[in-house]
Structure 1
Amino acid sequence: MESFKYNANPIKCEEGISLIIPAYHEKNRIMKSLNKYIPVLESTGLKYEIIVVIDGEDGTENLLNGIKNLSYYKPLMRLGKGGAVKRGFLLAKYSYMGYVDADGSLSAKDFENLLSSMKTNCCTIASRYLKNSKWINKEPLFNRISSRGFNFLVNALFRLHVKDTQCGAKFFNKKVIDKILPAVYVRNRTFDVSILYHVKRAGYKINEVPVTWNHDKNSNMPIKAAIIPMFVTILAIKIMNSRIKEYVPKFLYKVVSKFNFY
C-alpha cells in the first residue's frame, strides 16, 4: 500500500500557484472560501489556478462556472479527501501547490502567510497547536482529545515531530509532490499523515506555521465515524514501511485503501 521508490525526475513547470480544494457537499460554504482566498492569490503577482475536486452530489459545481482561473473535476466515484487532493495534484500545473479545506476555517491573513512561507520552504503546513496559534469557536472537547491522541500516536509511529498533522492547509514545492506522490495511496483523512511521512522520508523539512483557526460546527467531517478507519490506516502505513510487510496478506492493504472518509 505505501512502500514505494520515489520518483527521481520531477517534471519542470511554470512558476505559479495551484490551489486544490476538495469539496464534499460544500455548496453552502465554498463561495465564502473562494471570496476569501482569491484576492490573496491575485495579490501575489504569480499566475495561479484553483482546482476544485467535487466528491459529492449537492450541485457544488453549479456555483463555479465563470470564475476566473478556476476549474473543477467531478469523478464518477467517491475519492475521499485524500483521493480528491491527490487527483488535484495530478491535474495541477504550477511550481507551488497546496490544498485547503472548503469550509473557510483559515483566515485570509493566515492564507497569505502560508503562501509567503511556501516560497522559501519545500513543505509548509498550518498548525492549530503551536504556541502562537489561536482558536475562534474552539473545537468540541471530544474532537480535541481525539486530535491530540491521534497526533501523539502519529509522532510515536513516524517521528514527524509535527504538532498538527490534520490541519486543512498545506503547501508544497511541486518537485516534492512529483517525487513522493506515487507513494501515497491513502484516500481518507489520514492522507495528511501519509504525505507528511513521505515528505520527511524523502529528506525534506516540514515547516509549521501558527494560524488562527475558526472551527466550523457544521463541518462535514464525522469525527466519530472516522476514528477507527484513521487509526487502522496509520498502522497499515507503518507496517507497509517496516520489515514485517512481507508477512502481511496483501488484500488487507487493499481493504484499507478503500477507506474514503472525509
Structure 2
Amino acid sequence: MTAEILLAVRAGIMSAEGDPIVFLDADLTIPVEILDLFLEALATGADLAIASRYVAGSVVDRPWWRRVMGDVYRFVVHALVPTDIKDTQCGGKMYTAEAAKNLFARQRLDGFAFDAEVLFLAKRAGYRVREIPFALRQRNDTRIDFLRDSPRMFRDLFLIRLNALRGVYGR
C-alpha cells in the first residue's frame, strides 16, 4: 500500500459520519457478504471485526507462493508485534466509529504494516477484536514486489515495536 492510499483511507475514516465504519480492499477478494457477519460481531460486543484467513472455517484458495510469503510475514509480525490476532493483513475490517477514529488518530506508519499497527493499538487499548472466517479466492496478480517491499514491511514492523517501547503511542 502506498502512502497516498493510506492517507486516503485515514482521511475517509476520520471524516466518516456513520457507525460502524467499514474498510474493504478494492479488489473485492473478500466477499461483501461478510458484512453481515461483521455487523453480528459488533452487535455481540466486538469493537472491531476482521476477516481472517487463519481461523477455523476459513477457506483459502491462493497461489502457493502467496501462501508462503504470507506465512513468513505473519511469523515476523508475531515475533515483533505482540498480538494474539491471527491475521493482521487481511483487507476486510469493520470498526465501531469510536474505535476507528481513536485508532487511526494514533496510527503513525504509512505503509503495508499499517494494519498490524492499528490492530496492535486496538489490543493495547483493550478493544475487543473478533476474527471472522471467510472464503478467499485470490488471483495470481499482485502489486506487491516482494523483493522491493519486504525490507520496508519488516522495518515498519520493527518500528511498531520501537514506537511502543519509546512511548510514541501513549497508553
- Same fold? TM cut 0.5: yes
- Aligned-partner SS, 1:161: coil
TM-superposed CA distance for 1:223, in Å, is 3.8
Structure 1, unpaired ranges of 5+? 1-23, 25-77, 246-262
The secondary structure found in structure 2 opposite 1:163 is: coil
Q: 5+ residue gaps in structure 2?
A: none
Secondary structure (helix, strand or coil) at the match of 1:189 reads: coil
Determine the structure 2 residue equivalent to 1:113: 37
The answer on whether the counterparts of 2:53 and 2:134 sit within 8 Å (CA) in structure 1 is yes
Inter-CA distance 80–143: structure 2 relative to 1 (3 Å threshold)? farther
Is residue 154–residue 193 contact of structure 1 (8 Å, CA) maintained in 2? Answer: yes
Alpha-carbon displacement from aligned partner over 1:55-113 (angstroms, at most 9, x marks no partner): xxxxxxxxxxxxxxxxxxxxxxx634432321211221112102001111112332332
- Label 1:93 to 1:243 Cα distance change in 2 as closer, same or farther (>3 A): closer
CA displacement at 1:244 relative to structure 2? 9.4
Verify the 8 A CA contact 1:124 1:170 in the aligned structure 2.
yes
Kindly indicate whether residue 77 of structure 2 is the aligned counterpart of residue 154 of structure 1: yes
> Which residue does the alignment assign to 2:107?
184
Q: 1:116 to 1:224 in 2, by over 3 A?
A: farther
Contact 2:81 2:160 in 1 (8 A): no
Tell me which of the two structures has the higher relative contact order, counting C-alpha pairs closer than 8 angstroms and 6 or more residues apart.
2
Greater Cα radius of gyration, structure 1 or 2: 1
Deviation per CA, 1:112-164, whole angstroms, max 9, x where unpaired? Answer: 322332333101100012121002xx322222122112212222322211111
- Post-superposition shift, 1:243? 4.7
C-alpha contact (below 8 Å) 1:130/1:163 kept by paired residues? yes
Q: 1:145 to 1:199 in 2, by over 3 A?
A: same
Q: 1:156 to 1:230 in 2, by over 3 A?
A: same
- Given that 1:110 and 1:212 are in contact with CA atoms closer than 8 Å, whether structure 2 keeps it comes out as no
Root-mean-square deviation (CA, aligned residues, Å) is 2.1
Count residues in correspondence.
167
Higher alpha-carbon deviation: 142-151 or 126-135: 142-151
Could you tell me which residue of structure 2 aligns to residue 132 of structure 1?
A: 57
Q: Aligned residues: percent identity?
A: 25
Deviation at 1:176, TM superposition (A): 1.0
Match of 1:90 in 2: 14
Question: 2: CA distance between counterparts of 1:95 and 1:141?
Answer: 38
**Higher-helix-fraction structure:** 2
Structure with more of its chain in strand, by fraction: 1
Task: Work out the CA distance in 1 between the residues paired with 2:139 and 2:64.
Answer: 14
Alpha carbons of structure 1 residues 115 and 224: separation in structure 2 relative to 1, 3 Å: farther
